[in-house]
Amino acid sequence: MDFVLANCTHAVLFSAKQRTLKGRSTLVRGRKQKVSVIRISNFAAEVSGSRAAASGRSDGSGESKNWQVPKSSTALELLDIERGVCIPFRKYSPETVRNKVLESRGAVLSLISRGVEIVWSLGLYWSTLMYDCFVGRDEEVVPFRAQQLRNLLCNLGPSFIKAGQVLANRPDIIREDYMNELCILQDDVPPFPNEVAFNIIEEELGRPLEAVFSKISSRTIAAASLGQVYRATLRDSGEDVAIKVQRPKIEPIIYQDLFLFRTLASFLNGISLQKLGCNAELIVDEFGEKLLEELDYTLEARNLEDFLENFKNDPTVKIPRVYKQLSGSRVLVMEWIDGIRCTDPQAIKNAGIDVDGFLTVGVSAALRQLLEFGLFHGDPHPGNIFAMRDGRIAYVDFGNVAVLSQLNKQILIDAVVHAVNEDYAEMANDFTRLGFLAPGTDVAPIIPALEAIWQNSAGKGLSDFNFRSVTGKFNQLVYNYPIRIPERFSLVIRSLLTQEGICFTLKPNFKFLEVAYPYVAKRLLTDPNPALRERLIQVLFKDGMFQWKRLENLIVLAKENVVKMSSNPALQKNDLQGSGKVEKKLDLKDTIKDGARLFLLDAGIRRQLLLALTEDSQLHVQELVDVYRLLEDQIDVPSMALEVARDFPTVVRDLMLAWTESVLSDR
């Protein structure tokens, strides 16, 4: 891991030099990190593209990264670099798993026994698939074989149930009809006995149940691959809580299975490199890392705290509190969420909840996680999302989260910009930078396929566009080209698809992009991040021509987002209690100030804007007037003038420095 640590150090020094840190900590996930697990996501952002580095691309910071990934790097090191997340002290590594498995007496015999069980079960299943193919009935029995596979994974235990849940979101590995059947594993897992669960709770608490809880449910509220949930009441405070209990004796089985998975993967590297552009060990490492994180409920408690911190000023989102003094590695006690399941649209309507407002809140919360926080709920199936009776959206179950580095977020926004500008060659390069394609992969054959997918989907307009149709076409692309979907992005894709499905359940004619576009437009116009300013300029210029209509559309969409959110019943009701801030207008102060600064200091931008005003041998005054009319009710001119005046000395200083530098460079 010396290579990774060295590059983390490089990233810290580079980032410290490039940025002035403002506001909250930029260490991962919106809060200061614990000593036990060090994550350096934003600091390591520039390092995160071994893929960007390999192609000699710039990440938008103004410097090209020329270092190369050594061939000796392990799969786990490549995973760290690709993510932009450095984890020197981690729960998972191939060495840790091997040592854990082999440390006990009789480990070899136990491994052989488990290996025989797995090989026998999977071998029988594989032989039935081969027989179906031999007799020519492989397509007609697909539904039955998919169901057989789901039952087989359940019988093989939690590691395989979890693997099935992962495969349900990996079109690069398994075909779509099998994926749909494996999705059932997300909700339908048999529970284990109450007596066993209650004994585990008492062991973790070090006290009898009656001493802590005055009441506990006799039946499980939910059962998952790694644990199950009960409802209880605290004896001291009378508060209702949810108790998540881990399945008994699960850890040794999972470590054994991970050891066997990686051993098998080492023999499949050649096939995986040919089909996916990466070795099979990398896929197992991704899976193992997420699985062991989910196995430790203390990490889920940290995830809860991170989400609470991120949404603390958002009155439309409810995140449950965690009772850390009652929690441990196998038991998690958190606030009980008294909400309505999103699979029950009639109950939501009967509760008097505004469905349109609730859907707007849900989409905005999902996009904030993805593009703003970089910490994304990775498993938002209908059992994990609730509608509160005051219109808020509530999330539960934070064991599975996706962590995106600052660079990942910027590249995602780049991909959106390239899609808007119909720059499919750059969109293909974005895939390489995000880790979907191996460095050096020829993207030329992929460009026409991307163009066909996007144009066929976007050409239908907002009314018919949905992520499921785009994902279905993308799955075909993944199946035909050496594309690997990194684990974090498979979680993002699954999350967006699941939440879009929830939206359709509540409102069949819901238009996801009609909510998503205004949010993205608002972010491009108002976000203080300088990187987004650059993306805004890219959006507004196409082939050197200023897109006046696109600017007007962005303003209209951004205003629409502000109106929808400020008039949302959930936001208004909760804001009255002082829990958040309602934005009534677009906050364009930073955008206007930065625009004025760019116009004065950047000769290239100044030339482009002046050309935009005189394109086609005519003065575009009317376009300026139209833009002003769209903004006149959003801008307080006196306060804006005061802001510009305050910034004037700094602008003059920068002008003088730029002039001096140009004079000296000429000489």
Higher pLDDT, residue 24 or 228? 228
Q: Is residue 115 predicted with pLDDT exceeding 60?
A: yes
When divided into structural domains, the chain yields a total of 1
- Buried/exposed 613-639: b ≥16 CB within 10 Å, e otherwise: eeeeeeeeeebeebeeebbeeebeeee
CA 488 to chain centre: 6
Query: Is 42 part of a structural domain of the chain?
Result: no
What's the 3-state SS for 397-420?
CCCCEEECCHHHHHHHHHHHHHHH
Strands (DSSP E) contained in 563-624 are: none
* Statement: residue 441 has pLDDT above 90: no
* Cα within 13 Å of Cα(84), Cβ side: 31
Give the model's pLDDT for residue 346: 84
Tell me: the pLDDT tens digits for 140-156? 888 888 889 988 998 89
Instruction: Provide the residue range defining the domain that includes 120.
Output: 94-186+252-292
CA distance 534 to 60: 8
Residue 324 domain-assigned (yes or no): no
Burial 344-354 (b: 16+ CB within 10 A, else e): ebeebeeeebb
- Reported as a single tens digit per residue, the pLDDT across 63-108 is 333 333 334 346 656 555 555 555 544 678 888 888 888 887 788 8
SS3 content of the chain, % helix, strand, coil (to 5): 60, 5, 30
Q: What is the pTM of this model?
A: 0.72
Cα–Cα distances in angstroms (integers) from residue 538 to residues 292, 541, 551, in the given order: 41, 5, 12
At a CB cut-off of 8 Å and minimum separation 6, what does 16 contact? 43
The residues assigned a catalytic role are 379
Query: How many degrees, rounded to 5, is the angle at CA 126 between CA 123 and CA 130?
Result: 135
Determine, yes or no, domain membership for 172: yes
> Is residue 57 pLDDT above 50, yes or no?
no
What Rg do the C-alpha atoms of the chain give, in angstroms? 27
- Looking at 136-190, list the stretches that DSSP marks H as alpha helix, in order from N- to C-terminal side: 142-156, 158-167, 176-182
Within a domain: 264: yes
Worst-scoring range by mean pLDDT, 210-219, 452-461, 502-511, 537-546?
A: 452-461
Q: Tell me what the pLDDT averaged over the chain comes to.
A: 75
What distance in Å separates the CA atoms of residue 537 and residue 642, rounded to the nearest whole number? Answer: 25
Please say if the pLDDT value at position 226 is more than 60: yes
User: 15 pLDDT exceeds 90?
Assistant: no
Question: Pairing relation of β-strands 375-377 and 393-395?
Answer: unpaired
Q: Which residues of 81-107 are buried (b: 16+ CB within 10 A; e: fewer)?
A: bbbbbbbeebbbbbeebeebbeeeeee
